[in-house]
Amino acid sequence: MSIIPKLSFKNQAFKLREHAILDAATAVLSSKGYDLMTMDDVAGAVGISKPSLYKHFKSKEELVGEALIRLLDGALEYVAALDPGLGPVDKLSALLEWALRVRLDGGLPFLPSTSPHVREMLIRNVKYMLRVVKLNRQLEGMVKQAQQQGLLDRELPTDVILFSYYARTCDPAVEYLQKYSKMADEDIVRHMLKVAFDGFR
């Protein structure tokens, strides 16, 4: 887009720093959550001062919004890159596996729906909601298709499956297993997928 190469360098460095800030924000968010995350935490983790932070993101809400947008973009990319030959259930399973691995790796659960504060903030974020709607449309399509093919329970309303699916991507059992059982990440993912699709029985 830019036709002046001189600006490219600056922009490049700027983008790099922005990336580092988002990484730091992601790490702090995943350990302390939104309300307890302070801008000092993020600035400290990046190794810059707070005012410099505000040169990149004009508020805490914007910073967190961008971090979550990046996460959703990752999910959208992952879905787009899936083998089109896969069945709907395999796709849903693969994406859930991806989301669980991201979290086990210190990343964020998407849809940090738990905090009313955060939820309200994100709903006001048009850029974020755009991604949510797009991802939701694709997932809803997969669920409906799977139900028609009899691969997912036809008795259950699509909403129930879809919302429960989202809930599994941020299931707190993951953290508990990671913390209190000595289970390998591989096994946690495997078990969580099993429980999600087949239940406890």
Partner DNA sequence: GTCTATACCCGGATAGAC
Partner DNA sequence: GTCTATCCGGGTATAGAC
Are 193 and 97 in contact by the 8 Å Cβ rule? The answer is: yes
Selected binder of DNA within 8, 31, 38, 181 (CB under 7 A)? 38
> CA of 29: how far to CAs of 18, 83, 108, in Å?
16, 32, 7
Handedness of CA 136, 138, 141, 142 (dihedral sign): negative
Closest to DNA by CB, 49 or 149: 49
- From 53-61, 85-93, 151-159, 191-199, give the range in contact with DNA by CB under 7 A: 53-61
As a 3-state breakdown, the chain gives helix, strand, coil percent values, each rounded to 5, of: 75, 0, 25
Q: Does 61 bind DNA (CB under 7 A)?
A: yes
- Tell me if 116 contacts DNA by CB under 7 A: no
168 contact partners, CB below 8 Å, separation of at least 6: 96, 192, 196
Q: Which does 149 bind (CB under 5 to 8 A by kind): a second copy, DNA, none?
A: none
Q: Looking at this protein, which amino acid is placed at residue 64?
A: V
Q: Does residue number 17 form part of the binding site for DNA (CB under 7 A)?
A: yes
Binding site for a second copy (CB under 8 A): 31-33, 35-36, 113-117, 151-153, 155-157, 159-161, 163-167, 170-173, 175-177, 180-181, 183, 191-192, 194-201
Binding site for DNA (CB under 7 A): 10, 14, 17, 37-40, 48-52, 54-55, 58-61
